[in-house]
């Protein structure tokens, strides 16, 4: 294909992708396709407020924008704090170890969210468990909650599925018991970002509510729903004050992997490129030739060791694998891009990682690739946080405010 024709084709694909991304994020600027929503947003002063622990690069705050109002956020990583401040402002961000945070100094809030470190619960990590050096920081979070003048009536703890599966669920049961002992009713859900963005990223969301709050019937189920797969049912068996949370199931995702790709991004250097392609199995190489015979095709993949040999394993379902960072015990994800007989490889671009996390193209990222990749790879997918916030957390926060008013 001539270079001029290729550029025209790439430009057409980018225009289509921009329009598709705009439909996924109707409340943010994505080029000329943006139109302001007809319904006015809730006035900021009336929104429930939240505290965010382990806030990282701010994708939870992005997802909860116009749903909750952040009044305090914390992380100990200066580079992630810089991303947060660029996108949400530095006014209420507290850069320090959570071990140094004193609950009595925090503002009163309707909710506290903690995406506590996953390394000790991740199958890609060391599996030291919920008392490990990093994942064990969840206990510092609960210490801070205990020290607050008015304990938040709604708590959210987010982590990897290993929280439920490792050691037959003992780590989750320990956390559940700790929340129940503090006067909360608790339920867990597994939400996969794949329902909203083209990335397989299942995560556990533990939602706890003050047991004195009257819960709206529409938020409760008599048993498991789409958000509670078998792994949740298994760990929930016999637990005290367990809640089956109920949310509407999201509609089918509209965005595919091809919609978020920067097709004109440079490939790896020739030596690395050749080495990467050589790691493909003959079966994957042949399948790649078939699907790319008449079109561009991008297949994400990870380098893995099989039978003592390194291979590059691809997936062909137009969904990226879970973004991971080296600190989580895994390699970076590659893209193999093919059109006919032309096959090349490269890393995901920083902007592609942000799109896979549901961040708009206006979201500020560091110039250094490693910093941008880590900022996104360690985060919560923004559309997941938004769905959870709108469909469950906001109604719970409102119910808790009604409870407080009824007691005064």
**For residue range 160-182, what is the model confidence (pLDDT) as tens digits?**
999 999 999 999 999 999 999 99
Average pLDDT across the chain, whole number: 88
Average pLDDT over residues 382-407: 91
Do 123 and 57 lie in one domain? The reply is yes
Q: Is residue 159 part of a domain?
A: yes
Average pLDDT over residues 87-92: 96
Average pLDDT over residues 37-51: 68
Lowest mean pLDDT, pick from 85-89, 326-330, 348-352: 326-330
Q: Is residue 329 part of a domain?
A: yes
Do 341 and 281 lie in one domain? The reply is yes
Nearest-10 crossing angle of helices 138-147, 170-181: 0
pLDDT tier for residue 156 given thresholds of 50, 70 and 90: very high
Res 251 pLDDT > 60: yes
pLDDT of residue 21: 54
Euclidean distance between CA atoms 77 and 379, whole angstroms? 13
Do 84 and 229 lie in one domain? The reply is yes
pLDDT tier for residue 54 given thresholds of 50, 70 and 90: very high
Q: Is residue 39 part of a domain?
A: no
Res 17 pLDDT > 70: no
C-beta of residue 166 within 8 angstroms of C-beta of residue 174: no
Sign of CA dihedral 313, 315, 316, 318: negative
Do 260 and 247 lie in one domain? The reply is no
Res 345 pLDDT > 70: yes
**What does DSSP say about strands 184-192 and 111-114: parallel, antiparallel, or unpaired?**
unpaired
Average pLDDT over residues 249-255: 94
pLDDT tier for residue 355 given thresholds of 50, 70 and 90: very high
Q: Is residue 38 part of a domain?
A: no
**What does DSSP say about strands 342-347 and 297-306: parallel, antiparallel, or unpaired?**
unpaired
Higher pLDDT, 281 or 21: 281
Q: How far is CA 244 from the centre of its chain?
A: 22
Length of the chain: 408
Higher pLDDT, 345 or 4: 345
Do 224 and 345 lie in one domain? The reply is no
Average pLDDT over residues 79-105: 97
Lowest mean pLDDT, pick from 6-20, 130-144, 180-194: 6-20
Q: Give alpha helix (H) positions in 198-306.
A: 230-236, 257-260, 270-278, 282-291
Active site annotation includes 77 = no
β partners of residue 113: 52, 156
User: What percent of the chain has a predicted confidence (pLDDT) above 90?
Assistant: 74
The alpha carbons of the chain give a radius of gyration, in whole angstroms, of 22
pLDDT of residue 337: 94
Do 188 and 315 lie in one domain? The reply is no
pLDDT of residue 324: 84
Higher pLDDT, 364 or 325: 364
pLDDT of residue 3: 47
pLDDT of residue 214: 96
State the CATH number of the domain containing residue 84: 3.40.50.150
Quote the number of domains for the chain: 2
pLDDT of residue 326: 63
pLDDT of residue 128: 81
Higher pLDDT, 23 or 198: 198
Strand order in the sheet with 342-347: 309-314, 297-306, 334-339, 342-347
What is the SS3 assignment for 209? Answer: strand
pLDDT tier for residue 123 given thresholds of 50, 70 and 90: low
pLDDT of residue 42: 57
Do 244 and 284 lie in one domain? The reply is no
Do 269 and 342 lie in one domain? The reply is yes
Identify the CA nearest to 376 among candidates 62, 29, 92, 30: 62
Do 29 and 82 lie in one domain? The reply is no
- Active-site residue among 77, 118, 233, 322? 118
pLDDT tier for residue 20 given thresholds of 50, 70 and 90: low
Res 382 pLDDT > 70: yes
Do 231 and 282 lie in one domain? The reply is no
Q: Which domain holds residue 204?
A: 44-254+382-406
pLDDT of residue 377: 93
Higher pLDDT, 65 or 131: 65
pLDDT of residue 15: 52
Average pLDDT over residues 137-148: 97
Average pLDDT over residues 47-54: 97
User: Encoding tokens for residue 220?
Assistant: 């409760």
Res 186 pLDDT > 50: yes
Q: Is residue 149 part of a domain?
A: yes
Do 194 and 332 lie in one domain? The reply is no
pLDDT tier for residue 35 given thresholds of 50, 70 and 90: very low
Q: How far is CA 276 from the centre of its chain?
A: 28
Q: Is residue 169 part of a domain?
A: yes
Do 247 and 261 lie in one domain? The reply is no
Query: Would you tell me how many other CB atoms lie within 10 Å of the CB of residue 125?
Result: 21
């Amino acid at each position: 294909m001539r270079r001029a024709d290729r550029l025209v084709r790439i430009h057409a694909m980018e225009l289509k992708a921009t329009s598709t991304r705009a439909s996924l994020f109707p409340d943010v600027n994505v080029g000329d396709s943006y139109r302001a929503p007809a319904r006015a947003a809730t006035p900021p002063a009336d929104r429930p407020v939240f505290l965010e622990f382990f806030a990282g690069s701010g994708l939870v705050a992005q997802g909860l924008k116009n749903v909750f109002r952040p009044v305090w956020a914390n992380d100990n990583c200066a580079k992630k704090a810089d991303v947060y401040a660029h996108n949400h402002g530095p006014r209420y961000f507290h850069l320090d170890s959570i071990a140094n945070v004193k609950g009595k100094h925090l503002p009163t809030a309707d909710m506290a969210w903690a995406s506590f470190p996953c390394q000790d619960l991740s199958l890609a990590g060391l599996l030291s468990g919920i008392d490990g050096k990093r994942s064990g920081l969840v206990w510092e979070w609960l210490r801070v909650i205990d020290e607050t003048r008015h304990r938040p009536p709604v708590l959210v703890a987010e982590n990897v599925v290993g929280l439920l599966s490792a050691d037959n669920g003992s780590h989750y049961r320990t956390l559940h018991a700790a929340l129940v002992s503090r006067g909360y009713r608790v339920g867990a859900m597994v939400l996969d970002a794949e329902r909203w963005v083209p990335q397989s990223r299942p995560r556990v969301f533990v939602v706890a509510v003050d047991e004195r709050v009257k819960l709206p019937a529409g938020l409760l189920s008599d048993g498991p729903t789409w958000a509670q797969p078998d792994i949740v049912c298994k760990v929930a068996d016999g637990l005290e004050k367990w809640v089956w949370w109920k949310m509407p199931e999201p509609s089918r995702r509209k965005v595919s992997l091809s919609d978020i790709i920067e097709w004109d991004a440079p490939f790896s250097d020739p030596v690395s490129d050749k080495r990467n392609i050589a790691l493909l199995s003959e079966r994957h190489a042949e399948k790649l030739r078939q699907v790319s015979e008449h079109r561009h095709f991008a297949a994400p993949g990870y380098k893995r060791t099989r039978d003592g040999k390194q291979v590059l394993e691809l997936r062909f379902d137009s969904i990226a694998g879970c973004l991971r960072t080296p600190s989580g015990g895994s390699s970076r994800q590659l893209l193999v891009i093919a059109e006919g007989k032309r096959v090349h490889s490269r890393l995901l671009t920083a902007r592609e990682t942000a799109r896979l996390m549901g961040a708009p193209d206006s979201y500020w990222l560091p110039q250094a690739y490693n910093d941008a990749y880590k900022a996104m790879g360690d985060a919560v997918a923004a559309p997941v946080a938004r769905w959870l916030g709108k469909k469950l957390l906001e109604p719970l926060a409102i119910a808790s405010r009604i409870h407080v008013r009824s007691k005064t």
